[in-house]
Structure 1
Amino acid sequence: MLPRCEMFKEIIFTPRIICFNESFVTLGKQSVKNKPVAIIWHEGMAGRSKSDIISTLYKFRLFDRDAKEITLWLDNCAAQNKNWALYCFFIYLINSAEVNLNLLKIKYLQTGHTFMSADSFHHQVEKSLKQTGKVLDFDDFKKSNSSRVEVFEMNLNDFYDFADFSSRFKMNKIIPKPYLANFVEVQFKMESKNLFYKTKFSGELIELIFLLAKQFKSDLPKPTIRLAPKGIKKERKAKLLQKLQEMAQFGRIKRSRKL
């Protein structure tokens, strides 16, 4: 939530702006060389629907477009990290000229074993924010972590609406039927419009033809850019601004008394 001004009791009980942070943290030896990447936005711009989360993945991939092979570890959240719109986006991305990817692997954490390197990073961010004290906007947020993290703010033209081009007809005819809940690993390969999945990490890859016939025969279209921000209610904005003005006025009076 922003602003963060824990020293002012008034602001704690005032409806503030919800902020979102999608983190990308490298594993192993690479984590020493590469800083974590934090992609941030607030509820006035967008929410955390599947298209919003996919948009952050798009932003991240365009930031680092030269890698030939990438493995992402994600949790099993169906609404955000395990859905057909996301898989359609990966098919679009790996077959586009926007990146140099040859192979993209998505691996899912086992249910009940949710600790990952991003958790340590989130702890570091929270610690930095507490040490900073007063964090009013994204500029303050960036300064509080500037030495240890790359921060990218999502703008309106960074958000897209991603379509689901999967064919339920095709998948209903497959035996055994592929269920997203059973996927533990999914792979996408350049020059292929199929996905390859495993239901066990030690199992064999299964090729899945899942796109609608029209999209399978032609290139997937570029996602549609969003034209308007989500926005917040005027009443919330007005109340927040009023409280901030009151705090600023209180601060000026307090300083003048000391003088």
Structure 2
Amino acid sequence: MRVLIVEDEPFLAEAIQDGLRLEAIASDIANDGFAAQELLALNTYTVVLLDRDIPGHSGDDIAREILAEDLGTRILMVTAADRIDDKALGFELGADDYLTKPFVLRELIMRVRALARRSAVAAPPVLEADGLRLDTFRREVYRDGRYIALTRKQFAVLAELMRAEGGVLSAESLLERAWDENADPFTNAVRITISALRKRLGEPWIIQTKPGSGYYFGLPADTERA
């Protein structure tokens, strides 16, 4: 999952990003409508947290553009406008949910997760394959019934690989999905995280490397499960 935070109050935007990061949710920040347009053109987001009253293109304009693209991106409007008429207009513009300021961060995260589950491309909350069980709601991983403790980033990478259902994901793709826009494209973070994941999950390796292409989830072809 990747979230775009469209908020012109830097401290609030950073606080939301920090809260999402603690839940292993990658996010980017746009402090005005122009930046939001640029990021939406470059990346695919599961949920957009959208303040309606922002500099540049208004939040209403951004909502209309997201709706016109019809990519399954969900919109959570987060704004101080709390009158019923404001909320009605927000939903008419394409909002999937509406949260008024001030709000409790935990509630925002619950709403983000709920919207992600409603997304047309959302994976089921529990992923199971080759003896591995990953619960995205409880953030728990078990292999053959054995609990495995993972860091937030390891959990996020594993979830993306399992959602791909055996498809190969490049390091660049994983970097885009599980890290934010500030990640260095030349970093070894993906390789290091994959290496640590393999050690945590144990043998036989359940994350494979396709030379020159990337990584995929699954047991080696010559491995038979009992």
TM-score range, shorter chain: under 0.3
Say which one has the larger Rg. Answer: 1
Report which structure shows greater RCO (CA 8 Å, sep ≥6): 1
TM-score, normalised with respect to structure 2: 0.28
TM-score, normalised with respect to structure 1: 0.25
